[in-house]
């Protein structure tokens, strides 16, 4: 095997964000851009000789070309073996599952998740470590530092690998195995859920289903598991063929982007359960007949009911949510007397808690839920969880959630995103908020009296590492909160996220409209943050 050592010069912008390095495809196509980042990761990994790495992606534009480069670089750096998803595909949770099951050293996942794909859109790459989860900040910081001083990279002179034929082959001295991307993952799901019960309900037609794969990676998974294995009627999975540009849409499972599903669920033809997943299969949206479940509520409902499902029948060790996620799951944790942890945004912060067995379930308001079965959030897992729950409780999605609210109260919740703000303006908004923090506690705004105001700082309870400036939190004495933070996954300008929540114990008020219920807080967020005023935008670009 001939190895070439090529000279390169650093790019200074290869800082991984909330979830890996995401840039426009055009940025990745610059000479040596991908190579620099991959070599930086390999350099930080150190000795990879003889080790196994997993490689997969969400199938977006540039996936296959990037894979050929990574394979040749891995071979040149002495990697022992690569496990690669057939067709270059592995959903993010499936990649996590494969890393764990085959005791790989780690893996590359090529995805920009819910960001659009295509020559003018986004590409991304992230590295997951031995536990199957996203690399922690200490690792991504080291990769960033390395990328700023890199001078050369290694690549083997080899023909392209056939990514489509299952089985073993060689890339020079490195063993390569093209694996069925769905198989290991399906085995894991079977072990967690009551497939027999779900299957008989689907076959009897007592549960009907529509799963929108949004032309992204979960299509093949959902077809195999929901239709072939569990017997959902053919056609229950829509937009099931992964496309390089996701059919031109945003593969983002929310009411705005999964509109085909949303329309169906508000029509007379609505099935029992409606669900959607994102580009790389780690997000989920859950809907019932004319009913939308907020991700924060979904996490709380899963936590309150987990003991009814085979994989969780021993109960939960603890739960965790990202800081901006609503406090609905905290109420469940108090009710069943388990610990609830509050982490910064991004799945990487759950890894230590899961590994240390402090938590079993965790989730984020951004349509992400998961458990200790892998180290990523998992879209299809959440759908199977809900299917199993509906089959056990024999109630509709709306009945399950309404009953939950009657027991725990309802946390009205919404996120307002302001996309494409000029970066300086966005930073100015946060700076202006920070300046007010020390003066806010004790102040009253109408019915809202501030109980705390800070810039969220997290100290990991397992390894003690500290993450600063994770978002502005303003908490009120009635339990309401407003949170402001900047997105770390965008590729153009800045995206400012405003998270709003208000608790309501009284069941009489649970049917109220969310935006109306939150209107005072929305107004207050503007008074404090001046987002509209400073950005010149009259309304958020996306409301979830
Ligand atoms: C967003 C979400 C965050 C999620 C991240 C990755 O990050 O808010 O909760 O973990 O995306 O999800 P940000 O920094 O843009 O707010 V995925 O499915 O895009 O990997
Ligand atoms: Co995703």
Q: pLDDT tens, 529-541?
A: 999 999 999 899 9
The tokens of 543 are what? Answer: 């409301």
Read off the pLDDT of residues 477-521 as tens digits, 9 standing for 90 and up. Answer: 999 999 999 998 878 889 999 999 999 998 999 999 999 999 999
Q: Are strands 458-459 and 481-486 parallel, antiparallel or unpaired?
A: unpaired
Q: Measured between alpha carbons, how far is 274 from 507 in angstroms, rounded to an integer? A: 25
Average pLDDT over residues 276-284: 97
pLDDT of residue 24: 96
User: Which of the listed residues 112, 368, 420 should we mutate to test ligand 1's pocket, taking the one with most ligand atoms within 8 A of CB?
Assistant: 368
pLDDT of residue 488: 83
pLDDT over threshold 90, residue 186: yes
**For residue 394, how far is its CA from the centre of ligand 1 (angstroms)?**
33
Average pLDDT over residues 98-122: 96
**For residue 496, how far is its CA from the centre of ligand 2 (angstroms)?**
19
pLDDT over threshold 90, residue 19: no
Please give the torsion angle defined by the CA atoms of residues 289, 290, 293 and 294, in that order, rounded to the nearest 10 degrees: 160
Nearest Cα residue to atom 3 of ligand 1: 346
**CB of 29 within 8 A of CB of 23?**
no
User: Which of the listed residues 135, 366, 540 should we mutate to test ligand 1's pocket, taking the one with most ligand atoms within 8 A of CB?
Assistant: 366
Read off the pLDDT of residues 312-348 as tens digits, 9 standing for 90 and up. Answer: 999 999 999 999 999 999 999 999 999 999 999 999 9
> What average pLDDT does the structure give for the chain?
96
User: Which of the listed residues 15, 16, 17, 18 should we mutate to test ligand 1's pocket, taking the one with most ligand atoms within 8 A of CB?
Assistant: 18
Based on the residue annotation, tell me whether 113 is a catalytic residue of this protein: yes
pLDDT of residue 284: 97
Read off the pLDDT of residues 41-92 as tens digits, 9 standing for 90 and up. Answer: 999 999 999 999 999 999 999 999 999 999 999 999 999 999 999 999 999 9
Average pLDDT over residues 206-232: 97
Ligand 1 atom, smallest distance to 345 CA:
9
Nearest Cα residue to atom 11 of ligand 1: 489
**For residue 355, how far is its CA from the centre of ligand 2 (angstroms)?**
21
CA 242 to chain centre: 18
Q: Which of 401, 414, 410 is nearest to 293 (CA)?
A: 401
pLDDT over threshold 90, residue 9: yes
pLDDT over threshold 90, residue 157: yes
Ligand nearest to the CA of 324: 1
% of the chain surpassing 90 pLDDT = 97
pLDDT of residue 108: 98
pLDDT over threshold 90, residue 522: yes
Ligand 1 atom, smallest distance to 364 CA:
9
Q: SS3 of 77, please? A: coil
**CB of 499 within 8 A of CB of 415?**
yes
Q: Which of 430, 503, 425 is nearest to 471 (CA)?
A: 430
- CA-angle at 111, arms to 109 and 114, nearest 5°: 140
pLDDT over threshold 90, residue 28: yes
**For residue 322, how far is its CA from the centre of ligand 2 (angstroms)?**
15
pLDDT of residue 490: 79
Sign of CA dihedral 23, 54, 239, 113: negative
Q: How many CB atoms lie within 10 A of CB 300?
A: 32
pLDDT of residue 491: 82
pTM above 0.85? yes
Task: Name all residues whose Cβ lies below 6 A of ligand 1.
Answer: 18-19, 113-114, 278, 282-283, 322, 345-347, 364, 366, 368, 487-489, 497
Among 113, 147, 326, 535, the one annotated catalytic? 113
Q: SS3 of 9, please? A: coil
Read off the pLDDT of residues 256-274 as tens digits, 9 standing for 90 and up. Answer: 899 999 999 999 999 999 9
Nearest Cα residue to atom 20 of ligand 1: 113
Q: Measured between alpha carbons, how far is 499 from 514 in angstroms, rounded to an integer? A: 13
Q: Could you tell me the CA-to-CA distances from 251 to 80, 215, 265, 284 in Å, in that order?
A: 34, 7, 18, 11
- At residue 18 the predicted structure's pLDDT band, cuts being 50, 70 and 90, is confident
pLDDT over threshold 90, residue 465: yes
């Amino acid at each position: 095997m001939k190895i070439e050592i090529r000279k390169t010069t650093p790019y200074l912008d290869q800082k991984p964000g909330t979830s890996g390095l995401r840039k426009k495809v055009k940025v990745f196509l610059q000479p040596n851009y991908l190579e620099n980042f991959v070599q930086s990761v390999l350099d930080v990994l150190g000795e990879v000789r003889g080790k196994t790495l997993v490689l997969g992606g969400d199938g977006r534009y540039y996936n296959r070309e990037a894979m050929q480069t990574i394979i040749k670089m891995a071979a040149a750096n002495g990697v022992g073996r690569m496990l690669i998803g057939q067709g270059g595909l592995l959903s993010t949770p499936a990649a996590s599952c494969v890393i764990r099951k085959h005791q790989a050293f780690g893996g590359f996942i090529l995805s920009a998740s819910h960001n659009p794909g295509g020559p003018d859109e986004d590409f991304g790459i992230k590295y997951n470590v031995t536990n199957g989860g996203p690399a922690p900040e200490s690792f991504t910081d080291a990769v960033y530092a390395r990328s700023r001083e890199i001078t050369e990279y290694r690549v083997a002179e080899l023909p392209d690998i056939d990514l489509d034929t299952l089985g073993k082959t060689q890339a020079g001295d490195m063993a390569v195995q093209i694996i069925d991307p769905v198989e290991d993952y399906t085995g894991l799901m079977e072990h967690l859920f009551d497939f027999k019960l779900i299957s008989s309900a689907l076959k009897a037609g007592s549960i009907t289903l529509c799963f929108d794969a949004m032309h992204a990676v979960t299509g093949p998974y959902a077809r195999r598991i929901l239709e072939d294995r569990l017997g959902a009627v053919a056609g229950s999975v829509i937009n099931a063929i992964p496309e390089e540009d996701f059919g031109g849409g945003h593969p983002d499972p929310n009411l705005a982007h999964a509109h085909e599903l949303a329309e169906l669920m508000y029509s007379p033809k609505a099935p029992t359960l409606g669900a959607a997943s994102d580009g790389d299969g780690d997000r989920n949206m859950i809907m019932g007949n004319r009913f939308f479940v907020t991700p924060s509520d979904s996490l709380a409902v899963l936590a309150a009911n987990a003991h009814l499902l085979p994989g969780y029948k021993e109960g939960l060790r603890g739960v965790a949510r990202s800081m901006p996620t609503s406090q609905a799951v905290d109420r469940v944790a108090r009710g069943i007397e388990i610990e609830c942890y509050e982490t910064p945004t991004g799945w990487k912060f759950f890894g230590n808690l899961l590994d240390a067995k402090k938590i079993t379930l965790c989730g984020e308001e951004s349509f992400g839920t998961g458990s200790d079965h892998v180290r990523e959030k998992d879209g299809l897992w959440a759908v199977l969880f809900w299917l199993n729950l509906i089959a056990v409780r024999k109630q509709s999605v709306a009945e399950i959630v309404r009953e939950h609210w009657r027991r725990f109260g309802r946390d009205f919740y919404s996120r307002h995103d302001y996309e494409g703000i000029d970066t300086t303006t966005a930073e100015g908004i946060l700076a202006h908020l920070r300046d007010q923090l020390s003066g806010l506690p004790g102040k009253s705004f109408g019915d809202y009296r501030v109980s705390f105001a800070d810039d969220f700082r997290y100290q990991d309870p397992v390894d003690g590492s500290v993450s600063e400036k994770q978002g502005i939190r303003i908490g009120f004495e009635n339990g309401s909160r407003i949170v402001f933070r900047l997105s770390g996954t965008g590729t153009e300008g800045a995206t400012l996220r405003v998270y709003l929540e208000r608790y309501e114990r009284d069941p009489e008020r649970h049917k109220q409209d969310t935006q109306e219920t939150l209107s005072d807080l929305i107004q207050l967020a503007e008074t404090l943050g001046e987002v509209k005023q400073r950005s010149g935008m009259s309304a958020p670009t996306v409301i979830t």
